[in-house]
Amino acid sequence: MTALLLDELRAIVGAPNVLTEGDLTAWEQDWRKRERGKALAIVRPANTAQVAAVVKACAAAGTAIVPQGGNTGLAVGSTPDDSGTQVLLSLQRMNAIRAIDPANLTVTVEAGCILQTLQEAAEKAGFLFPLSLAAEGSCTIGGNLATNAGGTQVVRYGNTRDLCLGLEVVTPQGEVWDGTSGLRKDNTGYDLRDLMVGSEGTLGIITAATMKLYPQPAARLTAWAAVPSLEHAVTLLGLAHKHLGSGLTGFEVMGKFALSLVDKHMPQLRVPFIDDDAAPWCVLLENSDSESEQHARARFEALLETAFEDGCVTDAVVAENLTQAHQLWHIRENIPLAQAEEGLNIKHDISIAVSRIPAFVASTDALLQREIPGVRLVNFGHLGDGNLHYNVQAPVDGDAKAFLDDEEARVNTLVYDAVAEFGGSFSAEHGIGGLKVDKLEKHKSPVALGMMRAIKRGLDPQNILNPGRVLRSQGPSS
């Protein structure tokens, strides 16, 4: 049966695009190198018709399929298990930008298109595609949609879901749903688009999407501000909303220890205020204006003046040009890389109501320090939308790998229980994948889990799409 399926797959996509031998690490190992699986084959279709044919063949054979975009996910959601029985379906060859509709302010793009490629195509056409992630040079639009990726501009433009007007999807039965019309109003039944976005390849395979475009801003200003506490950062966010309105496009918060890692491992980046003991936190904020740079700068200066008067900012630098702005953003984006240089660590992608973040951090910091003396907290993230990357590093001179092996389960329980107490979510933008299935079982309500399982059974009764991801595998329904 296996040989017959492989022959059929070769006939569909061409023998060179069915990989079974050689170094398949790029597809079989997850981005963070936490897990390595073994696929029956890596299958690389070139178009939607081939995807549909591959799914039909696998469905007939009862063979599970793991869809994969750029393989940059952080929750082990797009790599095969180690059984050697799953087909990994790579969408990377499907990377075309099908059409840009200037009047409708939309672009229709295939799932394998790299995010940065779409950003550049939009800019060349005179528009902005605002989704921005640290992995934008490698991640794909299909993966962004499958995980409902967030990034640095959610405070203004929303998650990937909010940027999507329509999808083209191959169902678990190998049928094609074309919903790429690009309509902003279409109340004709259940919203299948929203069902597929964030489903992590468990309900259908996204092959193309129609995404929103925006006019390019006339001006973009960036500031780096030192704040005396997280409470003051929240106050500054309120002032930014008041003074900048929809012009506020980015609001990132970074703890001093997180920035000290960048300063230690990447000293060429020159972190502002790193030696200022009165600056335990820094904020990176961005203002985009549709009128003019003069107008934007006036509003920005009014904001900072008020912030200094209110005492929520103790020092600040404003980028004089785009080069300086990019340098400031580069510091923020390199925190995860600097943390990796420091050693293995325990990562958390959490969301809390903005108003409750200072209390959560104070309480959970103290809890972890009591439970594991000397533990170091790498805290940074998208304060503008309530999303923190609340990461935990081993004590100084501790064995990082041993710390991860010995303490990860306990630290996760402490952090996620605290998140639940503060009414938050243990996964803000990274998804569930295979890494957090047990956490979903624990923290999601039984009613919600029952509804999710019913949707999975209804759309994928054979359980062939990404089984065991998001929801614990239940096997085919009878």
Q: Which fold has domain 343-421?
A: Alpha-Beta Plaits (3.30.70)
Distance CA 356, CA 352 (A): 7
Reported as a single tens digit per residue, the pLDDT across 293-340 is 787 888 888 999 999 999 999 999 999 888 999 999 999 999 999 998
Residue 476 has pLDDT above 60, yes or no: no
Residue 162, both tokens? 């909010």
- Decide: 411 and 346 in contact? Cβ < 8 Å: yes
Q: What is the mean pLDDT of residues 233-260?
A: 96
- Decide: 111 and 91 in contact? Cβ < 8 Å: yes
pLDDT of 475 reads 60
The three-state secondary structure class of 330 is helix
Reported as a single tens digit per residue, the pLDDT across 410-446 is 999 999 999 999 999 999 999 999 999 999 999 999 9
Count Cα atoms within 13 angstroms, Cβ side, for 154.
21
Q: What is the mean pLDDT of residues 109-114?
A: 98
Residue 477 has pLDDT above 70, yes or no: no
pLDDT of 74 reads 87
Reported as a single tens digit per residue, the pLDDT across 120-138 is 999 999 999 999 988 899 9
The three-state secondary structure class of 292 is coil
219-336 CATH choice from 3.30.70.2190, 3.40.1440.60, 4.10.410.60, 3.30.460.80: 3.30.70.2190
Q: Is 343-421 in the same CATH topology as 2-90?
A: no
Residue 467 has pLDDT above 90, yes or no: yes
Tokens 């390199």, residue located: 334
Residue 463 has pLDDT above 70, yes or no: yes
Top-confidence residue, 276 or 353: 353
Q: Which fold has domain 97-215?
A: 3.30.465
Q: What is the mean pLDDT of residues 54-80?
A: 96
Average pLDDT, the chain: 94
Reported as a single tens digit per residue, the pLDDT across 369-383 is 999 999 999 999 999
Reported as a single tens digit per residue, the pLDDT across 255-299 is 999 999 999 999 999 999 999 888 999 999 999 987 777 878 888
pLDDT of 478 reads 32
Residue 474 has pLDDT above 80, yes or no: no
Reported as a single tens digit per residue, the pLDDT across 38-57 is 999 999 999 999 999 999 99
- Indicate the domain borders of the chain: 2-90, 97-215, 219-336, 343-421
Q: Which residues of 215-254 are buried (b: 16+ CB within 10 A; e: fewer)?
A: eebebbbbbbbbbeebebbbbbbebbbebbeebbbbbbbb
Phi, psi of 287 (to 5 degrees): -125, 120
Domain 2-90: CATH architecture, name and number where available: 2-Layer Sandwich (3.30)
Residue 149 has pLDDT above 60, yes or no: yes
pLDDT of 278 reads 84
Which candidate, 275, 217, 223, 226, places its Cα nearest to that of 246? 217
Top-confidence residue, 474 or 25: 25
